[in-house]
Each structure stands twice: as C-alpha cells, then as structure tokens.
Structure 1
Amino acid sequence: MTALDGIGRSELDVKESRDFALGPGPLRPRDAATLILLDHSGGETRVLMGKRASKHAFMPGKFVFPGGRTDPTDGRVKVSGALHTAVEQRIIGGTRITKTRARAIALSAIRETYEEAGLLIGTKGAFSTNHEGWHGFAEHEVQPNLEKLRFVARAITPPGRVRRYDTRFLAAWRDDVAVELPEGPTLELEELAWMSLAQARATDLPAITLSILSDLEERLKHDPDLSLDAPTPFYRMIRNRFKRDLV
C-alpha cells in the first residue's frame, strides 16, 4: 500500500494543491504517456529526472519523468521495432482504444523524451517523416523503436483539476538511447539529472510520481528486467477514494 491508496478526495485535493491547478476541468482525461529511463551501469540503478518550469499549471517546479500528452499522429510514425503485444494490451487496459491508439501512446513517450530531454530512443539508421515532432529523429538518423518498452503503471488524474490525463508510465533503459543531445529542443524540463532512486525520492516530487517511483523501486528488487507478466499498479478515483489496484 502507498500513501495515496484509499485517500479521500478532499484530503487528496489538499495534498496535491501544489502539484495541480485545482478547479473545474475536463470531465474526460486525455491520453498521455511518461517514460521512466533507467540506467543499470555502475552497480546502482539510476533514473532520469527533470524539473518542470515554474510557469506550468500542471506540476510547476516539480521533478518528474519526461512525458506529455499523446498526439494522434504519433501512431502513424514508422518504427524499427514493434510494441510487444503484452505491453500493448496493458496500455489498452480494458478501454475501447484501438491498437493504433495504444501505439500512439507509446510513441508519444519516446517523442516527449526527445523534446524534453534530448534523448532519442531507437536504432541508428536512415529515417524520414512528415510528422511534426519527429524531425529530430530524421536529422540524427534514428529510427524509433518500441520493442524494449515495458509497462510500469497507469494513473488517471482525479476530477477537480484544470487538466486531467490518463497517463501510462512506461520504462526503457539508457542502453536503448541511440543519441544523447545536450538538451531537449523545447526546454520544458530544467535541471535534467540521472539520480539514484533514493536521490530521486528526496526531490520535490508530485505525490503520484513519488508513489509510482516507490512502486518501481520495490518491483526492481525482485524483477530487475521488468518482466512482461508482472502485475502493475493502476491509480484512479473510485467513489471519492483514490485507489491503487494491481492489474
């Protein structure tokens, strides 16, 4: 159990008032994806974290993983390696979204990691595209690759926020990065750093990020390769209680 499991809506509102702008927002959350990049070298697992700019209404000044909203056109980008069927089914997660939409969600995590952190995940090789947001992959000759992504968690932003997302948290390894640039082209994340899991937990994290990082740290103790069939946490509001279930 984590600190958020079973917490009431009013208590959660207070806890997250510094993470989100509260107020009437969309009834239906938008699809989004986050990528947790892990580095196993050096004998200690490290994770990539970045600080969001203070001007953002969503998690201002907080340390987060790279990620953002899904663009439907992401699903039409060519890849050198397909999403594993088990990961695809976890992304769909009992919803009515299509396999193409699931693919778009996964690809949005890779695109956002390039835009925010300057890291291009994929395979070196000629690549061309007309899709906005992917020209950097063509410029640096990196073919996006989905085959090594692993599903880590899912979280739906509770009602009462000016922005709501249905976020899938995916993981990849630093070895999957084909090109590392000094920074991302959008500069949305500041103070990018590779941290030990303990160091990451000690930063100023949104409550949901801390919970998912704690879940991941516990899982890595007995499942360092993030196996495809392991149960994963799903956070969402049910009858005014924020619940964590393993699915």
Structure 2
Amino acid sequence: MSADDTLLRVSGLDAAVEGFQVTQNVDFEVQESSAVGYVGRNGAGKTTTFRSVMGLAEVLSGSIQFRGEELTDLRPEQIPQRGIGYQPEDRKLFTGMTIDENFRMPIWTLGKKRGIEDEDAAVEDVYDIFEELGDRREAKVENLSGGQAKMVSIGRALALKPDLLILDEPLEGLAPIIVERLKEYIREINDRGIAVLIAESNVQHIPEIVDELYVIERGEIFDSGDPQEVSQRRAVQELMQGSGQEG
C-alpha cells in the first residue's frame, strides 16, 4: 500500500507506566481498513502501547500519528473524536447501567464532536453486528456472561463510528466456542471498512483474522510479517510459551 493508506503510524515509541519505561523504540503501522495483530506475553508491553495511542500512558519519546496528525499533542478525550475506538483489557463497563445505555454513553459525551447526528441509528448499527444482544438491551451489564460483556465493551467502542478499532485482549479467558463467535464479529467489523488493531497473548488466536502480525517482547518488536508465517516460527512459538509480568 502507499503511504497515503497509512491510518496509524507508531514510530520509535518509548512509553512508561508509573515512571518505569515499558516500551522501547516500538514501530508499527495500521493501514486503512486493514486488520493488524499485536501479540506478546503478559507484561510484554501490549497494553502500554495501546494506552499510549489513547493518550493514557506517559510517552517518553517517539511519534504516534493518526492520518498524519500527532496524537501525543492531544488530550485523551480528543483522541476518540479523531476516529479511534478503544476496548480496554478490563472492559470498564458502566455498571448499574443497561447494555443500551453503555452503547449510548459515548454518543452522549462525544457524539456531537464526532459528527454523529442520529444517536439511534448509530446504536442500531452496533446491534446490527452484535445481533444476540438485541433482545437484551435492557439487561444490566453486571449480569452478563464474560463473552457478552466483551461484546458490550467492543460495541461501546463502535458506537462513535471509529475508523480504527483497538481491541486489547478481546478473546482472553473465553470458552473456545465464544472465541470463534467473537472472531466472526471482528471479521464483520473489519469487512465494514473499519481498521482493527488486536492485542492477544495467545499467538494462535488471531492469524486467520489479521493481515499483518507484530510480536512484542520486553517492550520491543521481536518479529513481524505475514500472520501465518510469523505464528509458525519456532522462535515465536517458544517465546509465547513463556510467561511474563503484567504490563
């Protein structure tokens, strides 16, 4: 693809958590309407990278550009307005509220700045993907299964009609049948022209649903390339069989 197709470009990213540097010279790109995997053991730096993109982690040096605009110059609340949706690893749903209210909350707070004029239409677009949530609209989110809670977290990020959807461990801790169902939803999201950046600690979860795969270890890019080829490399498989610390 040409340079004009680059949606997100992360260059030389050094980022820290509570004063401790986590990532070192991280480089990767996400092209328009593509799907990119970002895999690594727990503690490798996946979440810190994503939080840096969203303005939620300390960037020591480097550049994060979205359609050529430097995101490190923006406040965190401005980044979703640019067209980036984020599903955090811990979901952070609004407890005490329904599925429907969780979908509408981002629109209530940022919808006008994102240019969303029809709140109901935006929410219906989310239900159009996650059809199984349609008859549970009034269910409180604390009463959902783990898989349904992940769907709501992803759906909430979709409500602002992002051009890029960042998913942090969307498949982690779920039963295999739910993993396969969520993969289908992620494929459908990507098929609708929304670029997807997915972090996972299981390298076998996502090769078939991404166009490119990056492997991060100890805060640095360890390998990258074709998803099937990278995931089958012995060095990557041996690396991913290890364990790390949270980060």
TM-score by length of 2: 0.24
Greater helix share, structure number:
2
TM-score by length of 1: 0.24
